[in-house]
Amino acid sequence: MLKFASPAATRTTWAAEDKKLELQMGGSEIAIVGGGIAGLTAALRIGAAGGRPILFEAAPEVGGRAQTRVIDGFCLNQGPHALYAGGAFHATLREFKIPFGGGGPDLPNGLALWGRVPYPLPIRRSNRYVEPLGESAAEALAAFFEQAAADDDLGRGVALRDAIGSLPVQARTVVEAFVRLSTYVHAPGELDAKSALDQLRLSFAGTIYVDGGWRVLVERMLGAATAAGAVIRSSERVMRVRIREDACWIDLRGGQTERFAAVILTVSPKRAAAVLEDSAQLKTMAANARPVRLMSLDLAVATLPRTDANFALGMDAPTYLSVHSAVSKLAPAGGALVHLARYLAPDEQSSPDHFEGLRQIADTLHPGWREHLLHEQRLSAATVAHDFPRWTDGGRRAAYFLDDAPGVFLAGDWVGEKGMLADAAVASAQDAAAAAMERVQNRSTCHVPGQLPIATTGTLSD
């Protein structure tokens, strides 16, 4: 049923004509605030183009929500993480030859949960997938997915709920479940339908659970960025960014002030608005952002009672189970790492009852797991992304540039029109990096090379 054509990778290429953006000065003219995936991408891109950006990270380590805890050989990401094989992040890792390994879920043998009852996951046209949909709903579902595979403009300008409104109820339930899986968004009345179906097609082109957890990607991106000339300054919190005299001034927590030609903010919308106080445009963006959240329960077990229930997706409830360690190196020999999650609606409150509901799903699919439990990680109402594309905004999130703050650019999972989740963070970081480099290049034509006031320490009065 789900046989989407593999989409073209959303990849920014740097052709010969783009070489004009290469930085010619030896100093650091571009500051990056925030050391998550977006910040590291921007640092790597600018460094590779000949710049020497400075990345400021408030925490002792970079990585943000892409960090991984390792306990007794179990690699615990901050909830379930997947790398989309056709997305901007995967393309960037390949472009910069950053190695990684891993595998994807075994969807053909996956399960669909209706209540607590498991059925085969309805991903292809077959009589055995009709129950419990019923023949009519199964046929309508198959036809819808065939249409979605053939028409990449389907759903433009409407909410997901409206795009699938003509389907039988149970078929709509299945579509919404697969969209939750690929987007993490549990808001069919708000989510832009075209963006949702684009992401769904992307997910079925291939997903990867990364060996060793996402810390591996962070460490290798960090190494590549520093090798390219980026300067990483961790444990340095940026308190304020001010635009004065066609320059960007950064105030640090210790009282130091530094001057740059351009600044890329890769922090959350709320934090970005607090740092850049003078931008009314950014304040509006931050106020309009709708975080994507979930409750996550990770179970590190000494052994798994069953090996034939490695993936299950809730149909009539926003739940998920996947044994990532079945296909990637995330657990010690003999052990297993089970991810369970409940996707939260935008205004939904988390509840301890939700965690117990996830444990009961584990009881259903892996009876006896509690006897083998070694470690448990719970994340309550964790932010997966800081915004998602809504149909009322035409599927657009915040712009990566600011009209009222020249020289300041934005990147993150809440920015831009390309991709979702980590792919959105990477795509917007590439756009912001290109814009920041162009600004530096344009400014350099007005000065003698090497005489720009770069990263100058001093004071600046209001």
Contact by Cβ (8 Å): 294, 79: yes
**38 closest CA partner among 60, 14, 55:** 55
pLDDT at 128: 56
Same domain flag for 402 and 379: no
pLDDT at 28: 74
Same domain flag for 106 and 204: yes
What Å distances lie between residue 440 and 26, 168, 248, CA to CA?
A: 12, 55, 12
Final residue before a domain boundary, out of 385, 403, 421: 385
Per-residue pLDDT for the chain (462 aa), expressed as one digit of tens each? 444 433 333 333 333 334 344 444 345 799 999 999 999 999 999 999 999 999 999 999 999 999 999 999 999 999 999 999 999 999 999 999 999 999 999 888 899 999 989 999 998 655 556 778 888 999 999 999 999 999 989 999 999 999 999 999 999 999 999 999 999 999 999 999 999 999 999 998 899 999 999 999 999 999 999 999 999 999 999 999 999 888 999 999 999 999 999 999 999 999 999 999 889 999 999 999 999 999 999 999 999 988 889 999 999 999 999 999 999 999 999 999 999 999 999 999 999 999 999 999 999 999 999 999 999 999 999 999 999 999 999 999 999 999 999 999 999 999 999 999 999 999 999 999 999 999 998 876 443 333 333 333 333 333
Same domain flag for 282 and 307: no
Same domain flag for 381 and 356: yes
Domain assignment present for residue 4? The answer is: no
Domain assignment present for residue 78? The answer is: no
Token pair, residue 54, equals: 């400075």
pLDDT at 442: 85
Same domain flag for 268 and 229: yes
Domain assignment present for residue 10? The answer is: no
Contact by Cβ (8 Å): 426, 83: no
Output the domain CATH number for residue 329.
3.90.660.10
Domain assignment present for residue 142? The answer is: yes
Same domain flag for 183 and 322: yes
Domain assignment present for residue 1? The answer is: no
Same domain flag for 157 and 122: yes
Same domain flag for 234 and 137: no
Final residue before a domain boundary, out of 357, 385, 413: 385
pLDDT at 134: 87
Same domain flag for 115 and 207: yes
What Å distances lie between residue 56 and 61, 160, 274, 282, 334, CA to CA?
A: 11, 38, 16, 20, 41
pLDDT at 49: 94
Domain assignment present for residue 141? The answer is: yes
Domain assignment present for residue 224? The answer is: yes
Same domain flag for 302 and 371: yes
Same domain flag for 207 and 304: yes
**344 closest CA partner among 311, 392, 380:** 380
Q: What is the span of the domain harbouring residue 193?
A: 84-89+100-211+292-385
Counting the structural domains of the chain, the total is 2
pLDDT at 444: 61
Output the domain CATH number for residue 432.
3.50.50.60
Final residue before a domain boundary, out of 335, 363, 385: 385
Enumerate the β-bridge partners of residue 375. 300
What is the Cα–Cα distance from 231 to 225, expressed in whole angstroms? 8
Same domain flag for 173 and 147: yes
Side chain identity, residue 294: L
Question: Is the pTM of the predicted complex or chain greater than 0.85?
Answer: yes
Domain assignment present for residue 190? The answer is: yes
